[in-house]
Amino acid sequence: MADKRWESLIDAILEKLRNNTNILTQAFPQFLYSNFTRIPKEIPLYNHHVEHLPDAAATKLTEIELLLKPHLHPPLSWEVIEDLIRRFTKTSDYSILEAALAKYRTQFQEHG
């Protein structure tokens, strides 16, 4: 390198990368949940079959699940999400998910 200023900048960046033990997850946060041996249970909609749903529907279901998680026992929360998946799959009606989301927002925001 002809310019020492650029060389020292690049050296500083490389040094930070060498000292960082978790480079991949910091550089590419989308890989935080990537685990090729098993899927952690913390991922929203874990153990629900949502591959066939549009992204917008899966997003609404994730919001609902995150609202339910601190307030309901896991089996009950799972049943609520499964019921919503079944109802949406039959009708493709987003108002089902929007109504559930509004209901749980109101219910759980009032109770903290």
pLDDT of residue 49 exceeding 80, the answer is no
Report the pLDDT averaged over residues 78-104: 94
Tokens of 70: 């601190």
Residue 47 · residue 77 · CB < 8 Å: no
Q: Considering the chain, what is the average pLDDT of its residues?
A: 77
For 7-29, give the DSSP string. Answer: HHHHHHHHHHHHH-S-HHHHH-G
Task: Compute the radius of gyration of the chain from its Cα atoms.
Answer: 21
Whether the predicted pLDDT of 108 surpasses 50: yes
